[in-house]
Amino acid sequence: MQFLYFLEKIRVPVLNEFMLAVTTLGEETAFLVIALILFWCVDKYIGYYTLSVGFVGTLANQFLKLCFRIPRPWVLDENFTILEQAREAASGYSFPSGHTQSAVGTFGSIACVSKKKIIRIIAIVIAVLVPISRMYIGVHTPLDVVVSIAIALLLIFVFRPLILGKEHTRMPTLLGIMLLLAVGYLCFVEFYPFPQDIDPHNYESGLQNAYTLLGALLGMLAVYWIDEKWLKFKTNAVWWAQILKVVVGLILVLVVKSGTKPLLNMLLGEYFGRAVRYFLVVVFAGILWPMTFKWFSKLGKKE
């Protein structure tokens, strides 16, 4: 808390706005957009790598939040103030930091695999700035961000040889283990005897994430199997075709994600509907949309 009080004293309007902008790079949307760009346009195995680090990191993060149930800094110390613009998005328990885990996992994995020095530098700078921004705006303590950094770095260095090895032979086993972890986390959230005073919003968030991750990992397993056996899509295309591919693809992913929600919730209920919805999103992003990539690869080429 003393370190957070130090950061509170140096706040100025310009730096406040900068840190609020930086901290958005640790949100789920930034992670998904970057992971899909890598998967569609750079190398699908680098995409698998980034997605795997993000999914398992989120599982670990959510599990620890519900295990320790540590309140936010301004709840621990009523005299401490946060930036009010950050309060709405800072619901849930404090330890560990989800934004930090996501940013360090995403940009750290990019820095780990990129061959271009400028990209590595930018990725490392973002991976450093996001944890600082979480403390600066007052929503996390140093312990929250340090533990998240440690989790993300561990996953980055453990998963790289497993996923980016020459033959990719460990991917099915790894995906199976990740799926088992998701099932284990779902059982934990559904059946563990949490105390009566558990924050209902935090518990609801943990339950939603459990079904989200289960559906997403089932979809990822299906994508890998179908692509390896049948689709075998390529990511190459001219630069402007890549931009077109990403823009249209992201719009369609959003349509699938939002458009199927009312029907699935009505038919299956909120939680099972969420699992099926994220399964469909991943299957669309990993199978149906890549079926168009042969067409994109032909754009800009002379007959």
CA distance 19 to 50: 24
Helix 117-136 vs helix 2-9: angle between axes, to the nearest 10 degrees?
100
Q: How far is CA 137 from the centre of its chain?
A: 21
- The residues carrying an active-site annotation are 99, 140
CA distance 26 to 30: 7
Closest by CA to 106, choosing from 40, 43, 193, 28, is: 28
Q: Are 102 and 58 in contact (CB under 8 A)?
A: yes
The DSSP line for 180-244 is HHHHHHHHHHHHS---TTS-HHHHHHHHHHHHHHHHHHHHHHHHHHHIIIII-------HHHHHH
